[in-house]
Chains A and B, each alone.
Chain A
């Protein structure tokens, strides 16, 4: 059964449509990458899937008993204000809240998960640092660690490698592969087709004409040369 079914979805701001007639399915175990030009509506689509923006029309149907509290999310940018006092640790552990429970304090188990996530992203030593004083790439890793803490079945990533150095980007992709192999469903927005296409199972191309299919169909559709490589040039 599909984890997510999107039916004839249209999205927009204040009545202005930016996407319409989008339909696709995500099954458990898929690795879907969403591509398209800047401003084509990828982020908007992801926010609609997460229930942050109401759709103008159509439907987003979770299936297979998927609950909001089983989803991890890495936003494209966080509007964390310049003067917000928070340590990396506080940010990462906020990803654990959806595990339920009414305790005001972290359990041993939860601390272990958070430490693990920080270590996985190679930022264990930043734990006590102030979030707003980290570099852009370090902030991105901390937010990824937070997403890891929240993920149990589905992980949505909005341009996860933006701001990471090439080495870190490679590690990031390997990490997502590992999560995917462990049974977590991945939806990733990316402009980095060269790196992601060999790893993904499905592609959604948003824009003037919407394409959805598996990676092989996408390669054969001829869009890769038109969009993917073309954009980098």
Chain B
């Protein structure tokens, strides 16, 4: 037991461990809030597709940044590559949403096309214009997240915190409209809610959350962070409000527990958090089954 606290204590003595912990918990919070409407709108796959797009965007940004670093080193120092990745991913999010709505190709097919395309294109780019000697390592950490959150820079943490705060505020503010548009889009449009604008909002926020979460869990595991808490909460709760609150609490708790485990057991943070989320889902499914069983 003393070993447990001593190890943790020694980790948390470092300020960057504390920063990273805060950032991870905030990101988990946002991802779970967003997860509820995405899952209910049957848009889970958009999160997945976008994460692949973000991977492609990261590759493009990495290549562009090599140029930028050579020619405008001060500018790169200041902003890093995250804003560029964010911009590209947002554009893709809006594109996906638009094409999903009114083209002949089915929405899920479009997502599949764009996401696999972006993945391949990104990988190709990284090979053609290698940014470091260790391409496989780079690709691996982009896909599965940094092996340790300690590689997050202070700028990353500040950026994540600001974005997370914005997402949470947007959610609180538009909570009822988001419910209405998610529950019955026709009714809300017919009675004067601008459903298109809210769909756009959801797409943009999704892009933001995904780019933020990418540093942490990597683009392949993001969907888990978005989808698991919402699905777990839906096993037990039956009102939109309870599901939203429960998903947020579960996600924050899983992130905290996951970080502790990953620090103690020296496992990759992102994967550990997702594993905890998965276990929570199993437990909640079981609880839901038992409850449903006794009531029926």
Contacts and interface: CB of A to CB of B under 8 A. Distances in A.
Contacts, number: 91
A135 to B, nearest CB: 16
Given A91-B183, A97-B180, A104-B176, A150 B234 contact: no
A51 interface: yes
Per DSSP, are chain B's interface residues mostly helix, strand or loop, or mixed?
helix
A85 B190 contact: no
B184 A78 contact: yes
Contacts of A104: 172-176
Contacts of A229: none
B10 interface: no
A48 to B, nearest CB: 11
A98 B239 contact: no
A85 B176 contact: no
Contacts of A132: 238
Interface stretch (A68-76, A112-120, A198-206): A68-76
Interface in B164-216: 172-177, 179-180, 183-184, 186-193
B228 to A, nearest CB: 16
Interface in A43-92: 47, 50-52, 67-73, 75, 78-81, 83-87, 90-91
Interface in A115-158: 130, 132-133, 146, 150, 156
Give the one of B187, B188, B192, B234 with max A CB within 10 A: B187
Q: How large is the interface on B (under 10, 10 to 19, 20 to 34, 35 or more residues)?
A: 20 to 34
Q: How large is the interface on A (under 10, 10 to 19, 20 to 34, 35 or more residues)?
A: 35 or more
A73 B190 contact: yes
A90 B239 contact: yes
A97 B239 contact: no
Per DSSP, are chain A's interface residues mostly helix, strand or loop, or mixed?
mixed
A98 B174 contact: no
23 contacts: A50-B186, A52-B189, A52-B190, A67-B192, A68-B192, A69-B192, A71-B191, A75-B187, A78-B187, A80-B183, A80-B184, A81-B40, A83-B234, A84-B40, A85-B234, A85-B238, A90-B240, A97-B176, A97-B188, A97-B191, A130-B239, A133-B238, A156-B190
Given A68-B191, A72-B191, A94-B187, 6 more contacts: A71-B190, A75-B186, A87-B238, A87-B239, A98-B191, A130-B238
The 3 tightest CB contacts between A and B, nearest first, are: A69-B192, A68-B192, A130-B238
